[in-house]
Amino acid sequence: MLSSIVDAFKVPELRKKILFTLAILALYRFGAYVPVPGIPFNEFANSFQDAGVSMTMLDLFTGGALSNFSVFSLGIMPYITASIIMQLMQGVIPAVGRWAKEGDSGRKKITQVTRYLTLGLGLINAIGYLFLFKSDQYGVVFSTEVPELLTDILVVFTLVAGTAFIMWMGELITQRGIGNGMSLIIFVSIVSRVPSAIFSSINLQADLGMGIAITALIVVVVLVCIPLIIFVERAQRRIPVNYAKRIQGRKMMGGQSTYIPLKVNAAGVIPIIFASCLIYFPAQIAALFNVEWLTGFANAISTGWVNWIITLILIVFFAYFYTSMVFNPEETADNLRKQGGFVPGVRPGSATVLYIKNVINRVTLPGGIFIGLIAVVPSIIFFFTGNQLIQAFGGTSILIMIGVALDTMSKIESQLKMHNYDGFFK
C-alpha cells in the first residue's frame, strides 16, 4: 500500500492530479467554516444543538457546514437531488431518454439541465433555511445594521452561490483530478465529522474509562466489518461466454472463452445516496414552509422503525433501478451475437436476453439487501444508544467511504499500470 502511494507520486501527471484533488478538497473544507454574512455565529451554534434528527443528518452530509451556517450549508444535496430527478426523467420523458443515448452531446445536455436544476433546488433550500432559522424554533436574529430584506437577499444569494461553487469544484475534480468529484466531496464531509464524534462518544459516559472502552469497541467492530463490505463490493457473478471459430482470410479467429462480469453490488453507493436524499428531502421541504405537521413528518421518517423500513425498501429499489440504467441486457446480447459469442446452453437472441436479466435480478437482490442492512442496522443501534460515533461512522457512512475509496484507488491503479507500476490490488 505505502509503496503504491510512493509510486503514485513518482508519476508527474498522476502527482499533479492527486495534489490538485487534495487542494480542491481542502478549499471545500475551508468554505465549510466561513459563515454567511450577518449571522450571529455563537447564537446560531447554540440554537442548532437542539435541532431535530433530520437536521442532524443533513449536517452530517454537509460536513458540519450547516451547523456553522457557512457558505456551503446546502452541501452537495441539491446536486444529488437534481441528478436523481434527471435519472428518473430518462425513463419518463422520451427526449431525455434520447439524450442519454446520444453519447457525449447528449450527456452535455443532461449535465447542463442538471446544473440549472441544482441552482433551482438550491434557491428553494436557501429560502427554506432562512425562514426556518428566523422562526421561533431557532429565533436567530441576523444583522440589524442593514435593512432586513437586504440581509435576507444576501444570505440566500450566498447560499446559492456556495452550492454553485461546490458543483464547480466537484466537476473540476472529475475532469482534472482523481475520482468522482461529487463522491469525494461527500466522502470528505463524512470523514471530517468522525473526530468530533469520537470525542462525543467518549464523553457520553459518566465514567471516562467506560467511554473509552465503548468507543474502542465500536471502532473495532467497524474495522472488522470493513473487509466484509469490501468482499461484497468486489464480488462478481461471471456468466461464461464462448466464441465460435471462424475463418478470416487465412487465419482462424475465435474459439476462446471469456465471461461477462456482473457485480453483486453493481450500483455501488448510489442506492444509499439516492435513498438518503429522498428520505431527508421532506426535512428540506419542512425547512421551507416551517409547518409543524410537516416538520413532525420529516422527523418521523428520519428515525425509528418507519425510517428503517423505508430506507431498506428504497435501497433495494434503487439497486435494481440503477443497475438497469447502467447495464442493458438487450445491448449485451446483441453485441455477443454480432461477435459470434454465445452463453453455453442458451440460444442466442431473446433467450440470452432473458437469461442475463434473470441472472441480474438474482444477483442484485442479495446485494441490495446487504447494503440495506448495513445502512439500517447501525441506525437501529444509534436509536437505542444515542452514541454519535455510530451515527457518524454508521453503515451508510462506511458504505459511502468504502465505495468512494475503492473507486478512487481503482482509478489510481489504472494510472499506475499505464506507467508499469504495481497497483493497490495485487
3-46 per-position pLDDT tens digit:
666 666 777 788 888 889 899 999 998 988 888 887 766 666 66
Cα separation, 261 vs 363, whole angstroms: 11
Weakest-pLDDT range from 142-151, 315-324, 361-370, 409-418: 142-151
Higher pLDDT residue, 99 or 9? 99
Contact yes or no for 371/272 (Cβ under 8 A): yes
Contact yes or no for 60/75 (Cβ under 8 A): no
pLDDT at position 225 = 79
Contact yes or no for 337/251 (Cβ under 8 A): no
Cα separation, 177 vs 188, whole angstroms: 15
pLDDT of residue 370 exceeding 80: yes
Q: How confident is the model at residue 161 (pLDDT cuts 50, 70, 90)?
A: very high
Determine the 3-state secondary structure of 237 from DSSP: strand
Contact yes or no for 165/185 (Cβ under 8 A): no
Radius of gyration of the chain (CA): 24
Mean pLDDT of the chain: 78
Q: What is the pLDDT of residues 241-267, one digit of tens each?
A: 887 766 555 665 556 778 888 888 887
Query: 418: exposed, middle or buried (C-beta count within 10 Å: 0-12, 13-18, 19+)?
Result: exposed
Query: 81: exposed, middle or buried (C-beta count within 10 Å: 0-12, 13-18, 19+)?
Result: buried
Cα separation, 160 vs 125, whole angstroms: 9
Contact yes or no for 43/140 (Cβ under 8 A): yes
Q: Across the chain, how many H-helices and E-strands are there?
A: 17, 5
Contacts of 420 (CB under 8 A, 6+ apart): none
Secondary structure of 125-174 as H, E, C letters: HHHHHHHHHHCCCCCCCCCCCCCHHHHHHHHHHHHHHHHHHHHHHHHHHH
Max mean pLDDT range (18-32, 219-233, 405-419): 18-32
Q: How confident is the model at residue 290 (pLDDT cuts 50, 70, 90)?
A: low
Taking Cα atoms as reference points, which of 243, 223, 251, 71 lies closest to residue 161? 71
pLDDT at position 221 = 79
The secondary structure element, H or E, covering residue 46 is helix 41-48
Contacts of 17 (CB under 8 A, 6+ apart): 176, 177, 178, 415
Weakest-pLDDT range from 59-63, 315-319, 357-361: 59-63
From the centroid of its chain, how far is CA 83?
Answer: 11
Beta carbons within 10 angstroms of residue 381's beta carbon: 17
What grid cell was written down for 212? 473509552
pLDDT of residue 139 exceeding 80: no
Torsions phi, psi for 207 (to 5 deg): -90, 125
Cα separation, 426 vs 424, whole angstroms: 6
Contact yes or no for 163/74 (Cβ under 8 A): yes
Q: What is the pLDDT of residues 303-348, one digit of tens each?
A: 778 888 888 898 888 888 888 777 778 888 888 887 777 888 888 8
Contacts of 331 (CB under 8 A, 6+ apart): none
Side chain identity, residue 384: F
Domains of the chain from N-terminus onward: 2-418 (1.10.3370.10)
Cα separation, 277 vs 400, whole angstroms: 13
Cα separation, 422 vs 401, whole angstroms: 23
